[in-house]
Amino acid sequence: MAESLREIRVGLLAYGAIGDQHNLAVKATTGLQLTAVADTNPERLAAAKEIASEIETYTDSTAMLDSGLIDLVVISTPPNSHYSWAKESLDRGLHVVLEKPMALTVEECDELIGLAASKDLLLVVYQNRRYDADFVTMKKLIDDGAIGQVFSYESFVGGYSKPCSYWHSDVEVSGGAIFDWGSHFIDQILATIPGDVDAVSGINQKRQWSHVTNADHADVAITFSDGTRATFTNSDLAAARKPKFYVLGTTGAIVGNWDPAAGSTPADLPAILTVHRADGTTEVISNSQVTPHAFHQSIVEYLKNKTPMYIDTRQSRDVVAIMQAAEESALSNGRSMKPLLLR
């Protein structure tokens, strides 16, 4: 049966914290069918079958890739294995969806992009925070000119807390504090601010938490060719949280404050957005309603109709280039770097 007339068979490679999200999204998306899941943990495989009882399960991921049961694989392994599993999958003629970051070096990203193009296969990163209600709302306000031309954009995530001992806190596995949350927030910056990037700098602070190898506090600064400046901070040493977003424009500002209802996990709820106007007035803006599973539906539209996807693989690659430059900058105490971008 022609691919355009049948469902796209999906395999999930690793079923960790985001496994249920992909499982439910595939189930809800017309044109996708979950047919296989691979994980070394039998309890995780059992959890996957609770949602999709008809799937085949594997404790050997290579066996799933070779099974002939899938057309597309969603790779949710730790970041230091993204490149190798994506290459294995593309070599087998499978479409690939990667969790963030795309890989840990821009060289690995470029190789994967070239391989996918040579085989006419989809390679895309699940930049799920691009679909967050607060970011969608803020970006529309900016695009509509609500605060004039943006010239300063600050973003922040964190608090004062002991980091987990999971792979997220292992610099060799995660890529470091910049890579962990930066994959989301720097993607949002590039989606909002056009133009060339002139310089990137980064600082990593290791001050308190000796049980993990990630930095305790990380700052990234991006300077665009017109002088616009954007920053991202990820901190486990912030006893006082900054707003999630603090954006200045020529006629106003947008502040995105963390929702206190989220308690100790503020990233779980959308920020509360307030527009500050030049005349001194303010307005709290209701967050937009977002379309559920829009990313997964866009996969179907691309593979069946070649409809361009909102998530651009080249931008996901540029996010890695900026984060890699920031990490290199941090090694020299914040010396400016100029990454080679595709935008």
Residues 265-294: tens digit of each pLDDT: 888 899 999 999 999 999 999 999 999 999
User: What's the rounded Cα separation, in Å, for the pair 323 and 106?
Assistant: 9
Confidence grade of residue 1 (pLDDT, cut at 50, 70, 90): very low
Query: Domains in the chain and their CATH numbers?
Result: 3-127+292-308 (3.40.50.720), 129-290+324-331 (3.30.360.10)
What would the pLDDT profile of 292-342 be if each residue is shown by its tens digit? Answer: 999 999 999 999 999 999 999 999 999 999 999 999 999 999 999 999 999
Sign of the alpha-carbon dihedral angle for 178, 188, 247, 276: negative
Determine how many CB atoms are found less than 10 A away from the CB of residue 200.
24
User: 147-175 burial, b if ≥16 CB within 10 A, otherwise e?
Assistant: beebbebbbbbbbeeebeeeebbbbebbb
Q: What is the pLDDT of residue 268?
A: 85
* DSSP per residue, 274-287: EEEETTS-EEEEPP
Measuring CA to CA, how many Å separate 172 from each of 95, 167, 216, 329?
Answer: 27, 9, 15, 17
How many Cα atoms are found within 13 Å in the side-chain-facing hemisphere of 297?
Answer: 8
Determine the Cα angle at 102 with ends 97 and 328, to 5°. Answer: 175
Structure tokens at 103: 């890989």
What is the side-by-side strand order in the sheet with 32-38?
56-58, 32-38, 8-13, 72-75, 95-98, 123-125
Amino acid at 146: A
How large is the average pLDDT for residues 56-75?
98
What would the pLDDT profile of 117-131 be if each residue is shown by its tens digit? Answer: 999 999 999 999 999
Please tell me the pTM assigned to this model: 0.97
What would the pLDDT profile of 213-229 be if each residue is shown by its tens digit? Answer: 999 999 999 999 999 99
Q: Is the pLDDT of residue 180 over 60?
A: yes
Q: Is the pLDDT of residue 4 over 70?
A: no
User: Three-state DSSP class for 263?
Assistant: coil
User: What's the rounded Cα separation, in Å, for the pair 165 and 157?
Assistant: 19
Measuring CA to CA, which residue among 197, 203, 224 is closest to residue 338?
197
Residue with tokens 């900054």: 242
Q: Is the pLDDT of residue 3 over 70?
A: no
